Structure 1
Amino acid sequence: MNDIAYFTKVQFETVTRFGQVEDRMILNIPQRELSFQVFRWKKQMPAISGYTTEDFHGHVYSFNKNIPARVVRNGKTKKSLLESEQYEEQVVFSYGVRLTEEQIEDLLPYCNAKEFDTYRNKKMSMSDEGYVGYRDEVTMRFCGITDSYIPLLELSMSYFYDEEHEWPSERLYRYLVQTYFNENKKTKGWGPTYGAFSLFC
């Protein structure tokens, strides 16, 4: 049996501790496209400013309020504020590049889905052999699909391991970042980096 089944598309997402996607990298191998986007999340409703009063144990306090909300009117009740807890995703930076056939050939060894599939049911743990650290304040997740019998694969990328125990998802991510983003002036200040502030150079 052939031991190689390449991914057709892979995706890396950086996720905040609030569950919001901070950035997303997508590699489309058949189309030879690599893209990267950065997101910011904002409340959907405009902010309403004003003063409000509240009674706390017999004492009335007044304070300024600035919240995403809208005024709700009802014929049987007074006006009230309906606060919003929903956020909308806004793209604040976008970058894309079309890779050459030679560049695709160079990265294919990092994209063998069968190698990734052996990690399908594994859970990262600080007690794992080779564990060396974790991503602070954010986590990452990997998603990959193929044209073969291998189903959709999703892996956590919360922890770092030494070279011997490193997961293939981290190996592919590091290759893409070091090759296409670290020295890229177009993504400076926006793109992911591997180097002075990472565990691996």
Structure 2
Amino acid sequence: MDKPIYFSKIEFKNNFLQDCEGTMLLNLVEKELSYQLVKRHRKNEKILFSYGVKIKDDDLPELLQYCNALDFEPYRNIDESMEYKGIYGYRDCWGIVFRGISASYLPMLKIYMDIYHDEKHIWPNEKLYKYLIQKYFGHKKFKKYGIYY
């Protein structure tokens, strides 16, 4: 097995409400996780919600299991479609874009997250997103800001 190459920064960007964009940023170098919901109308921008948390050192080993860039490489340049195994639905009227960068030879990775997969076939970007939501944003107060799984 290859030695892991961990992402240093990860972004999940979603557009689920009219003129609204949610951005979750995971900075593994600084051990920070943040989420910001911004409403844009013409040239005006308003922050509707902002939240951040420091990742505890004790939580890092578990989190890193989801952040090995090599696990994501088979999904580079794959266009999700209903032809893949384990698909049970899709995000209707909204989507998420995953971006990950590492301090290695691997170029930035971008994966569109439009489809839900069952647990057996779940892609690593969806696994990471689900983990972050459930671990750090599991409280129901976040649901009204589009943070749920």
How far residue 3 of structure 1 moved from its aligned partner, in angstroms, is 3.4
Alpha-carbon deviations, 1:56-86, whole Å to 9, x = none?
A: xxxxxxxxxxxxxxxxxxxxxxxxxxxxxxx
User: What residue identity is the alignment partner of 1:34?
Assistant: L
How far residue 188 of structure 1 moved from its aligned partner, in angstroms, is 5.7
Matched, 1:91 2:34: no
| Residue 103 of structure 1: aligned partner | 59
Q: d(CA) in 1 for partners of 2:107 and 2:143?
A: 35
Larger Rg belongs to: 1
Structure 1 residues 134 and 33: alpha-carbon distance in aligned structure 2, compared to 1, 3 A threshold: same
Residues 169-188 of structure 1 aligned to structure 2 (within 5 Å): 169-183=125-139, 187=142
Displacement over 3 Å in runs of 4+: none
Match of residue 144, structure 2, among 180, 184, 189: 189
Larger relative strand fraction: 1
Q: d(CA) in 2 for partners of 1:144 and 1:23?
A: 16
How many residues are treated as equivalent by the alignment?
Answer: 149
Structure 1: unaligned runs, 5 residues or longer: 45-87, 195-201
User: TM-score scaled to structure 1, two decimals?
Assistant: 0.69
- What's the secondary structure of 1:122's corresponding residue? coil
| Residue 2 of structure 2: aligned partner | 2
Q: d(CA) in 2 for partners of 1:21 and 1:129?
A: 32
Structure 2: unaligned runs, 5 residues or longer: none
Alpha-carbon deviations, 1:112-158, whole Å to 9, x = none?
A: 10010111021100121111100011011000000111110000100
User: What residue identity is the alignment partner of 2:2?
Assistant: N
| Residue 107 of structure 2: aligned partner | 151
Q: d(CA) in 2 for partners of 1:34 and 1:22?
A: 17
Larger relative helix fraction: 2
| Residue 25 of structure 2: aligned partner | 26
| Residue 61 of structure 1: aligned partner | none
How far residue 15 of structure 1 moved from its aligned partner, in angstroms, is 2.1
Residues 16, 146 of structure 2: 8 Å contact kept: no
User: TM-score scaled to structure 2, two decimals?
Assistant: 0.91
Alpha-carbon deviations, 1:151-200, whole Å to 9, x = none?
A: 10000100011112111000000000000011275x46325112xxxxxx
